Amino acid sequence: MTQLQRTPLREFHAARGARLVDFAGWEMPVQYRSILEEHRAVRRAAGLFDVSHMGEVDVSGPGAAAFLNRLVTNDVARLFPGRVLYSPMCFPDGGVVDDLLVYQRAADNFFLCVNAGNLARDLDWIRKQAAGHDVMVADRSAETALLALQGPRAAAILQELTTTDLSGIGYYHFATGEIAGVPCVLSRTGYTGEDGFELYHAARYAVRLAETLLAAGAPHGLELAGLGARDSLRLEAGYPLYGHELSPAFSPLAAGLGWTVKLDKGCDFIGRDSLVAEKRCGSPRRVVYFRTGDRRILRPESPVLNASGAAVGQVLSGTLSPILQEAIGSALVETAAAAAPLAVGVRGVTVALQLVRPPFVPLGRT
């Protein structure tokens, strides 16, 4: 068994009662007190997440903008310094390599934030694609820590600790500044559906920054939140998670992320031909989101059945919405079957799926 990787906050978590689990090869806090309570704290006030396991990759050089626009499906040409873009990155067949954030620092200077579990594979893929382009690709993951401060109180908490005017940073924009003396990238992004910031900083400052944020946030109702709450928050918001709603097996169009696939962005990109064809013919399967009106959680890989009991898909994600107090989730189903009644069997009971367009709950940010 390989040694789990640790973020600089591993001891910080352990000292605060975290339940540490293996997540994508990292020893990460899944919860501190209660997943449901941490979830509600983020919707009500704020939560602090250690997401230092995420990968950061610098892409720079005269060819960087053109290279990235060929690498990802969204339109990198729309970026400008200080702007963030969400995009899938596809294989030639349209399957998804990973989903990521693209940050533009300067005309020829970008960085990417990618999923921890995909970092090694992403680096191989990106470096291979970079051949022939005038770019430098550098993995900054080991020296970079990432804290996510999320919730309606996040800006008020953070503003007490920085001279950067946070009202000047719009959603999906970022600035560089200092938080309690720690140099940070302050990115107004997140994975919860609430207002909030993702704070990139040097790993050596992680404990100091986390302690400072936690102390400043306590009077506002800030709580530490683990990956359990992060998952239920993102599902309630209707955000995809790689390995569930995104996969090499189907395209971002099938995943409902058509808005991130810019077929007419004026340059070719990896997967474009396949995605053009899929858009013309329609996706054979698609990701749907459902609620159930029932508390029984429908687990990933459970078969989705049509009215005659035939399997027409499978569950991708499932949890209990702590806000709705009912089971919600996503499934990959045959497109032709999605218009008719669908159900999932759980311990001898058939639970009908009510298909909905996420988000499942009103959000501070959508």
Partner 1 sequence: MSSVPADLRYAKSHEWVRPEPDGTVTIGITDYAQNSLGDITYVQSPKVGAVLAAGAVFGVVESVKAASDLYAPVAGTVVAVNPALDGAPETVNREPYGAGWMLRLKPAVPAAAGALLDASAYGALLS
Neighbours of 263 (CB within 10 A): 12
Q: For residue 87, how many C-alpha atoms fall within 13 Å in the half-sphere facing its CB?
A: 24
Residue 19 interacts with partner 1 (CB under 8 A): yes or no? yes
Residue 292 interacts with partner 1 (CB under 8 A): yes or no? no
Of 307-366, binders to partner 1 (CB under 8 A) are 319-320, 347
Number of residues located near partner 1, criterion CB under 8 A: 14
Of 24-43, binders to partner 1 (CB under 8 A) are 31, 34-36
CB of 73 to partner 1, least distance (A): 33
The SS3 of residue 150 is strand
Q: Which of 103, 75, 77, 73 is nearest to 88 (CA)?
A: 73
135 CB-near residues (< 8 Å, 6+ apart): 59, 60, 61, 63, 64, 67
Judged by CB, which is closer to partner 1: 103, or 290? 290
Residue 18 interacts with partner 1 (CB under 8 A): yes or no? no
Which range touches partner 1 (CB under 8 A), out of 92-100, 273-281, 294-302, 303-311? 294-302
Q: Are strands 46-50 and 222-224 parallel, antiparallel or unpaired?
A: parallel
CB 248 within 8 A of CB 96: yes
Residue 78 interacts with partner 1 (CB under 8 A): yes or no? no
- Backbone φ, ψ for residue 267 (5° rounding): -150, 160
Between the alpha carbon of residue 79 and those of residues 60, 64, 111, 333, the distances in Å are 14, 12, 12, 34
CB of 99 to partner 1, least distance (A): 24
Residue 298 interacts with partner 1 (CB under 8 A): yes or no? no
Judged by CB, which is closer to partner 1: 32, or 289? 32
Residue 5 interacts with partner 1 (CB under 8 A): yes or no? no
CB of 165 to partner 1, least distance (A): 39
Binding site for partner 1 (CB under 8 A): 19, 31, 34-36, 228, 232, 295-297, 299, 319-320, 347
